[in-house]
Amino acid sequence: MLPYVFLSAGLLAIGLAVWWPGFRLRRAMAQQFPPEWERILIANLPPYRRMPVKWRQRLQQLIQRFVHEKQFVGNGGLVINDEMRITIAGAACLLVLNRPSTVYQALRFIYVYPDSFHAPVKHHDESGVVSSGYASRSGESWSNGKVILSWNDILIGTRNFTDGNNVALHEFAHQLDQESGSTNGAPLLDRNSAYTRWAEVFTQEYRDLVNDARFGRQSLMDHYGATNPAEFFAVATETFFEQPQTMADKHPELFQQLSNYYKIDPRTWHD
């Protein structure tokens, strides 16, 4: 009898462990989106103001899920508040507004500094000598479930949604890229057959930007995108969401590929 009691207790514990997180998530999602959270979106995320109601509601649901699942941690003396959580979650969820995937399943922690922060870097010079030092950063995306952000840069990037610079979109694009198993500029696409065209378009566009950067020519996308294909995807994502009409005019094939991937046309939110 005794082993049976232990077995039942064990099964009950396992059942609760499985059921409890799902229950807590459903309860969080069922709650009304707080009016003060919506005021934060209206103040800090301009696309929200121009979206159709059904997409606002979808974004609200995604944000509720995001803030329920992810842990925000203040660094450098920063105390996390709702404005930080909702602004960061809003920008992150904008990228997955119409995608069928879950809300950044692998992401667990978001570390936020008050301003740009120093991170260790290694530099390889042309003769192969490696030196290490520190570089100023406004954001970093890691493959082990964490994103690091500067709150000051987040706020500047999200409030100005027309200049093509948005560190939140940039770092969360890296997280999406990582879903394929490596951060290499080729995220998970719907069909295997889609990779051929994706690779053709992205390779050509990346080479063009590398040449623009090398010869100091002006370009729509930031020259930082010429660093490597992963940075190109993140920078192209910033431009796609913030300057969609110009990208559609100047880089129609790239716009089409990103529109297929994000399943959205951000021109509908811009004037």
Q: Which residues bind Zn ion (CB under 5 A)?
A: 231, 234
Minimum CB distance to Zn ion smaller for 87 or for 178: 178
Give the nearest residue (CB) to Zn ion. Answer: 234
CB of 141 to Zn ion, least distance (A): 7
Minimum CB distance to Zn ion smaller for 40 or for 176: 176
CB of 47 to Zn ion, least distance (A): 21
189-222 per-residue burial string, b: 16 or more CB within 10 A, e: under 16: eeeeeeeeebeebbeebbebbbebbeeeeebbbb
Minimum CB distance to Zn ion smaller for 87 or for 166: 166
DSSP state string for 176-217: HHHTTSS-SS----SSTTHHHHHHHHHHHHHHHHHHHHHTT-
Minimum CB distance to Zn ion smaller for 69 or for 238: 238
CB of 174 to Zn ion, least distance (A): 6
Minimum CB distance to Zn ion smaller for 148 or for 247: 148
User: Cα 189 vs. chain centroid, distance in angstroms?
Assistant: 16
CB of 183 to Zn ion, least distance (A): 9
CB of 236 to Zn ion, least distance (A): 11
Minimum CB distance to Zn ion smaller for 169 or for 234: 234
Distance CA 22, CA 165 (A): 36
Minimum CB distance to Zn ion smaller for 153 or for 231: 231
CB of 169 to Zn ion, least distance (A): 11
CB of 170 to Zn ion, least distance (A): 6
Distance CA 79, CA 73 (A): 8
The answer to whether 164 and 175 have CB atoms below 8 angstroms apart is no
Distance CA 6, CA 17 (A): 16
